[in-house]
Amino acid sequence: EAQVTQNPRYLITVTGKKLTVTCSQNMNHEYMSWYRQDPGLGLRQIYYSMNVEVTDKGDVPEGYKVSRKEKRNFPLILESPSPNQTSLYFCASSLRLASYEQYFGPGTRLTVT
Amino acid sequence: QQQVKQSPQSLIVQKGGISIINCAYENTAFDYFPWYQQFPGKGPALLIAIRPDVSEKKEGRFTISFNKSAKQFSLHIMDSQPGDSATYFCAASESENAGNMLTFGGGTRLMVKP
């Protein structure tokens, strides 16, 4: 089954404790992206990657890091989480740059206390 | 500052009625306008999309209307069903944007009452 998977689905952590949210897709997609979803603000792009070892900032990259060492994986790293990073996070992938249909994962709900 | 403004934030419609969600944008370079549907506990999924060379696109009960001069587009759901209850996001993108970035509206929570 073609899908984007994220782990964990739920995470409660404390300020300053480094965490990683994993994302993996099995569709051989070149393009992957991370979004955060907040009430009334829709989804905002954090980082994106156009291919292995190619990443760039989206709209709200502060406090986040990403890496793309393999085509299928695109982890999101919070080196020192803060309460304002409490949010619902989605990973997405699409086949190629010119293909705009993005396939979203199920989401990771993060709470930072 | 949101580049795509969506209204209303929430909408309640009776079964069989028409649901209408509106979006407005400022960036005239936007040339792709998709709508995503999100059910609770799930990620958004592409519902329907339009490019500005047409003024309307219809897929089943879902229709996008596009007004380029007014920089507005809307989603109409005809014969709304309880199964349509979800959050709907409009979005916009530029073809020339190397980041393939979708700019989303704030979302509309639709409830269709039986």
pLDDT tens, residue by residue, B30-89:
888 999 999 999 999 999 999 888 999 999 999 999 999 999 999 999 999 999 999 999
Q: Does B45 contact A at CB distance below 8 Å? A: yes
Q: B96, exposed or middle or buried, with CB in 10 Å at 0-12, 13-18, 19+?
A: exposed
Torsion of Cα atoms, B75 then B76 then B79 then B80, to 10°: 40
Q: Report CB contact under 8 Å: B100, A100.
A: yes
Mean pLDDT of chain A: 93
pLDDT at B109: 97
Distance CA B89, CA B105 (A): 6
Residue to mutate among B3, B104, B108, B109, with most A CBs inside 10 A, is B104
Q: How far is B90 from chain A (nearest CA, A)?
A: 9
Q: Quick one: which of B41, B103, B106 has its CA closest to A108?
A: B41
pLDDT at A40: 85
Average pLDDT over residues A98-109: 85
Contacts of A58 in chain B (CB under 8 A): 99, 101
pLDDT at A62: 96
pLDDT at B37: 97
